[in-house]
Each structure stands twice: as structure tokens, then as C-alpha cells.
């Protein structure tokens, strides 16, 4: 349990430890839970509550989100490793996926915060016409503090990922940020070129 507490305040030491000793026992569970957390975020953004029941949303996020989330993180780790080779990174896909999983501890914590919000606010969390200000005092007291904490945890997840990639790739922080952004940048460049070529043909 020391890893799960120390990573909040001494992330580089933790990432170095889990990488040096290849501690993979928590990788899959953490990525699965992070996938669930991400799925709930997408469900809220896409207003799935307009067309689905709360039970349906929860079932989909837990079953589909957890499985597809793990695959998505693996693909992302593969892409970071691939682009990182251009920057002479020292890591590999397994080491990048490992630190990525431990960086998601904060996302898992955000998932825990979501549970009381769902209990109090129900399907409204996932509906387009839902207004928290029109709900009762209890709903507002639960929603706003937890929403703020989720934002903070989301930011800290990004920070941890940057530090983790920096550690395994032996990059500076700025080079680590570039490595993390490169897969997305290449994807958008590819889409732009595809659309451009398609228009001129």
C-alpha cells in the first residue's frame, strides 16, 4: 500500500521503484478502473442519460468502458513508445504502460468520488437538461466539492503521467510532454492529410 500513498507526494521515486522492479501486479486492475472512470466522463459529456437509464449507463461504463479502456491505454503506450524512439527514449511499451497505470491512481480516486454523486443526483448527471442549481441543498453540497476535487485529480493525473514518462524514457519534463502529445499530433496530421488528399482527388 506504500506505493498508493507515496505516489501522491513522491511520484518520481515511486515510478523509479515500480519500473526497476517491474511491479506489474496492479497494472491491469488500475487500467481497468481508469477505463471505467473515463467511460463515466464520456457518458456525462455525451449526455447518455437522455436516451439510457442509470442502470444501463453504469453497466456499459463498467463492462465496456473497463475493457475498452485497457485496450486504449495499451495502444496509447505503444504510440508513446513508438514516437519516443524518435526522441531517443530509453523506455519500452511495457514500462510506459506500467507508469501510465500507476499514474491513473488519481483517476481511480475520482471514480470513488463519483459514487456518492450518482447516489444523490441519479441519472441527472448524464442528462443534457439537468441543472444542479435546481436540485436540493444536499445535491449541491455533494456535487460541487466533489466536482472540484475531480478536476484537481484530473490535472494531477496528467502531471503524474508526465513525470512517469519522463522517468522511464529518461527525458526532461518538457521532452516528456512532447512525447505524450506526439501521438495525438500525428493522428490529427494524418486525418488532415487524408481529408486534404480526398478533396483533391
Give the cell for residue 88.
531517443
Which residues in the chain land under pLDDT 50?
A: none
From the number of C-beta atoms within 10 Å of its C-beta (0-12, 13-18, 19+), residue 43 rates as: buried
Would you say the C-alpha torsion 182, 74, 45, 140 has a positive or negative sign?
negative
Give the cell for residue 176.
516528456
Give residue 13's Cα distance to chain centre. 21
Number of domains in the chain: 1
Backbone angles phi, psi at 134, to 5 degrees: -90, -5
Q: Output the pLDDT for position 1.
A: 58
Q: Output the pLDDT for position 59.
A: 94
Q: Output the pLDDT for position 90.
A: 94
Distance CA(32)–CA(63), nearest Å, equals 9
Q: Output the pLDDT for position 178.
A: 97
Q: Output the pLDDT for position 22.
A: 86
Q: Contact, 79 vs 94, CB < 8 A?
A: no
Host domain of residue 51:
2-200
Q: Output the pLDDT for position 141.
A: 85
Amino acid at each position: 500500500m506504500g506505493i498508493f500513498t507515496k505516489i501522491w507526494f513522491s511520484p518520481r521515486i515511486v515510478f523509479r521503484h515500480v519500473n526497476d522492479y517491474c511491479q506489474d501486479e496492479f497494472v491491469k486492475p488500475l487500467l481497468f478502473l481508469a477505463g471505467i472512470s473515463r467511460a463515466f466522463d464520456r457518458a456525462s459529456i455525451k449526455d447518455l442519460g437522455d436516451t439510457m437509464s442509470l442502470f444501463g449507463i453504469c453497466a456499459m461504463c463498467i463492462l465496456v468502458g473497463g475493457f475498452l479502456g485497457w485496450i486504449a491505454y495499451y495502444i496509447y503506450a505503444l504510440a508513446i513508445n513508438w514516437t519516443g524512439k524518435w526522441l531517443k527514449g530509453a523506455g519500452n511499451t511495457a514500462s510506459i504502460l506500467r507508469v501510465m497505470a500507476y499514474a491513473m491512481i488519481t483517476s481511480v480516486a475520482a471514480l470513488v468520488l463519483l459514487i456518492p454523486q450518482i447516489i444523490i443526483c441519479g441519472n441527472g448527471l448524464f442528462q443534457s437538461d439537468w441543472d444542479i442549481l435546481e436540485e436540493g441543498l444536499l445535491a449541491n453540497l455533494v456535487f460541487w466539492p466533489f466536482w472540484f476535487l475531480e478536476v484537481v485529480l484530473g490535472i494531477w493525473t496528467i502531471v503524474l503521467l508526465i513525470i512517469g514518462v519522463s522517468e522511464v524514457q529518461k527525458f526532461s519534463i518538457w521532452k516528456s510532454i512532447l512525447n505524450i502529445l506526439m501521438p495525438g499530433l500525428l493522428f490529427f496530421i494524418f486525418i488532415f492529410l487524408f481529408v486534404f488528399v480526398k478533396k483533391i482527388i
